[in-house]
């Protein structure tokens, strides 16, 4: 799949992650939901979808007790 195959929310979330520093600052699904004015579950589903739709462009890992996310 490619960027063109992403839903509107997935694309917006992907661009937001690219512009943000969620490697230094821990990821917060709740904050993301507030920023996008959607339910937290929608953010979790969109983030999960990104890892399968564009796996070579997003990296999610766990460090120091928090989720870290980066995208390129």
Residue 1: pLDDT band with limits 50, 70, 90: low
Partners of residue 68 on adjacent β-strands: 61
The pLDDT of residue 51: 94
CA distance between the termini of the chain = 15
* Protein fold of 3-71: Arc Repressor Mutant, subunit A (1.10.10)
CB atoms within 10 A of CB 27: 19
In 3D space, the residue among 45, 46, 39, 55 whose CA is nearest the CA of residue 10 turns out to be 46
The pLDDT of residue 55: 92
DSSP 68: E
Q: Is 5 left (phi over 0), alpha (psi -120 to 50) or beta?
A: alpha
**pLDDT tens digit sequence for 13-62:** 999 999 999 989 999 999 999 999 999 999 999 999 999 999 999 999 99
Q: Is the pLDDT of residue 2 over 80?
A: no
pTM for this one? 0.89
């Amino acid at each position: 799949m490619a960027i063109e195959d992403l839903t509107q929310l997935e694309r917006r979330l992907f661009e937001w992650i690219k512009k943000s520093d969620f490697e230094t600052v821990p990821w917060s699904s709740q904050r993301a939901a507030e920023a996008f004015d959607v339910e937290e579950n929608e953010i979790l589903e969109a983030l999960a979808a990104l890892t399968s739709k564009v796996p070579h462009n997003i990296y999610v890992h766990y460090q120091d007790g928090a989720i870290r996310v980066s995208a390129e």
